[in-house]
């Protein structure tokens, strides 16, 4: 699991500054966790995402974006509450989910949405 800065987000996910249409740069599906260190539900979902990143290593990428540090990225996605998870398939439209979820629910989304 990797914390993204504006620069690494542009390099690995999408150049939101220069591209009008979002084109995902990854070679495998990704989950982006928009979070903050003071957020209770974010603290609950963090270890779950860490576990899932190990279980699905090599199959999906899981990234974290601290909304306090990366205002531009958060604003570009219209993030208004946290935790917000962005599920990005290699092809097709991303989906968003807000709020902490149990591990089983996240694993089901990964299997169903990413077809893993």
* Residues assigned a catalytic role: 39, 42
DSSP 23-71: ----SS-EEEEEE-TT-HHHHHHHHHHHHHHHHTTTT-EEEEEETTT-H
> Of all helices (H) and strands (E), which one includes residue 7?
helix 6-12
Distance of CA 33 to the CA centre of its chain: 4
Distance CA 38, CA 40 (A): 6
């Amino acid at each position: 699991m990797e914390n993204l800065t504006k620069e690494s987000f542009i390099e690995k996910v999408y150049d939101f500054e220069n591209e009008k249409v979002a084109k995902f740069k990854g070679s495998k599906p990704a989950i982006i966790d928009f979070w903050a260190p003071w957020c209770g539900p974010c603290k609950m979902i963090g270890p779950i995402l860490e576990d899932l990143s190990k279980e699905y290593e090599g199959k999906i990428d899981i990234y974290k974006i601290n909304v306090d540090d990366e205002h531009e990225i958060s604003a570009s996605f219209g993030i208004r509450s946290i935790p917000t998870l962005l599920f990005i398939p290699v092809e097709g439209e991303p989906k968003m989910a807000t709020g902490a979820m149990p591990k089983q629910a996240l694993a089901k989304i990964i299997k169903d949405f990413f077809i893993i």
